[in-house]
Structure 1
């Protein structure tokens, strides 16, 4: 891992993400790109172009000044941290930046969302998860321990998620933690018998790992929803991190089918690592 992107809005939650990024960067000799998205609204038709330019220049200088103060942290010493101010209006553009900079990971803070706000608006974190082509780690609180010793990897054992599983393994191996693989069996249309679950897992690991050794350490749990099963299992093993693959659904597909990774990222207090399928 060489480059980590951290979106900064100068809030406590973005500092939580920055702290986590500093820990990972030190462990893996990576640099940090701290990005502030300067939202310049261009829909004010009664404002002249010269006024908008002056306003943009003023806000840009203000952001740079705040950045300078925000990045004066002891935990950032001896790290390469590059502050960037971008004229982003939508969080999907972070993905473009990630490709330009050949970044390996995005780490961002989030307080989640709930109720009508979650349904109709969603959080900025959800938008990044939905559009990002590189792994995204979501930090919900100020972590006291950055050693991700117990990582829960939640999977449906679909063959299309194998590449995401391999990427997650690569990232978590850098933490030197133990991966707890979990499959959640629900009582409705996706119900599987024990032999069916074991066969799915064996086929998955046979292709992904070249062996089925991880089948021994895989846990099959039953719950009323996949999300509840993941959170309950994570609590039972004392997880430090939940890792998942995501289809990153957009538009009407996302509205009607939802996104499990976004739901877990919204509702879990643990850090979440998502990788797009």
Structure 2
């Protein structure tokens, strides 16, 4: 996990993601690759190979300039890579590019509360959350990185949660982070506590971190309660797993919950997928 990829579409909503990716790559001492997927021109087939390469070179230069402007430094001094790929299916093209890379996570911007959210890069982020086989870190467009000390992980006390928590510990090992494992339940409390005890035992066997805190909250409105908890605590990042099946964490679809959180959260959202 020695690389971070930041996918951008050159828009305002991608700026915060680029800035976050740059700071995080420095903190974690990982290589940063800034990626843009552009649509093939309709007349590409009529261009010569040299003309097509010139078009790509121009696009790369524009991406480098975009990085320089928003990271406030000459591109050569940033020590990052700017890469352009062509493709009409952006999520598929991103996945194909990343599949053979050893990445910690993919960083993308979200659409925030824009009324045009379905038409911009935020919808691509949602598509990536649903389909990716690697962690997606979604950054709200108004977010400014200050520090990363506390991550809240929403858990349903499943084995996949332990895998994801271990990934978080490994990814952010250079930082002194604390992890709050949050479970919001809407059924019998004694069953929840029994499952918690079993989960804690298994977690202690498989994850090398002492700084875990467990939080149980009863609520029938999962999304509202989760958002209120994040707003009233010193949370720097929320991590969730997109669960393909119905989960006791949520009476409905956890997949929808992750996407809804991506739409409304004001802090970075780290999403894992059950395909791990």
- Structure 1 length-normalised TM: 0.80
Change (3 A) 1:176 1:79: farther
Superposed displacement of residue 80, structure 1: 2.7
Aligned pair partner of 1:233 in 229, 242, 246 = 229
Work out whether 1:271 is the aligned partner of 2:268: yes
Superposed displacement of residue 61, structure 1: 4.0
Aligned counterpart, 1:29: 29
Aligned residues: 261
Deviations 1:97-149 (A, max 9, x none): 1122222210111114788976xx97111111122211111100344343112
Superposed displacement of residue 28, structure 1: 1.8
Secondary structure at the aligned position of 2:61 is classed as: helix
Superposed displacement of residue 245, structure 1: 1.4
For structure 2, the 5+ residue unaligned runs are 246-251
* Structure 2: distance between partners of 1:226 and 1:52: 55
Whose strand fraction is larger, Structure 1's or Structure 2's? 2
Aligned pair partner of 2:238 in 235, 242, 253 = 242
Deviations 1:21-43 (A, max 9, x none): 1111111211111111011266x
Change (3 A) 1:259 1:174: farther
RMSD value over aligned CA atoms? 3.3
Tell me, yes or no, if the aligned pair for 2:153 and 2:181 is still in contact at 8 Å: yes
For structure 1, the 5+ residue unaligned runs are 186-190, 250-255
Change (3 A) 1:172 1:244: farther
Change (3 A) 1:64 1:194: same
- Structure 2 length-normalised TM: 0.81
* Structure 2: distance between partners of 1:62 and 1:48: 15
Change (3 A) 1:105 1:70: same
Deviates more, 1:164-173 or 1:68-77: 68-77
Superposed displacement of residue 266, structure 1: 1.3
Aligned pair partner of 2:190 in 189, 195, 202 = 195
Superposed displacement of residue 236, structure 1: 2.0
Superposed displacement of residue 12, structure 1: 2.2
Superposed displacement of residue 270, structure 1: 0.9
Deviations 1:34-89 (A, max 9, x none): 111011266xxxx6931697995565344223112112233677543111100122
* Structure 1: distance between partners of 2:147 and 2:122: 30
* Structure 1: distance between partners of 2:227 and 2:58: 41
Deviates more, 1:69-78 or 1:156-165: 69-78
